[in-house]
Amino acid sequence: MAAHAEGSIAAAREAMSPRRRSLAASLESALGMVVEIPAALLVVAEIIILFAGVVARYGLRSPLIWSDELASILFLWLAMLGAAVAFRRSEHMRMTAIVAGAGPAMRAYLDMVATCAALAFLLLIAWPSYEYAYEESFITTPALQIANSWRAAALPVGIGLMALFAVLRLARGGDVAALMKGSLHTDELMHEVTDGALGLRTAHLARPNEHGAGRGETAPSVPVDFAVKSLEELAEKLGT
Q: What is the pLDDT of residue 226?
A: 75
The pLDDT tens digits of the residues spanning 68-114 come to 999 999 999 999 999 999 999 988 887 777 777 777 777 788 888 88
Residue 196 lies in a domain: no
106 belongs to a structural domain:
yes
Averaged pLDDT for residues 192-203: 53
In a domain, 96, yes or no: yes
* Structural domain range at position 118: 2-181
174 has a pLDDT exceeding 50: yes
Is residue 228 assigned to a domain? no
- In a domain, residue 112? The reply is yes
Evaluate whether 145 touches 153 at the Cβ level (below 8 Å): no
- Provide the pLDDT for residue 199: 53
Mean pLDDT for the stretch of residues 116-144: 94
Instruction: Give a yes or no: residue 221 inside a domain.
Output: no
Q: How many domains does the chain have?
A: 1
pLDDT of residue 185: 45
Please indicate, yes or no, if residue 128 is contained in any of the structural domains.
Answer: yes
pTM here?
Answer: 0.64
| 123 within some domain | yes
Averaged confidence pLDDT in the chain: 78
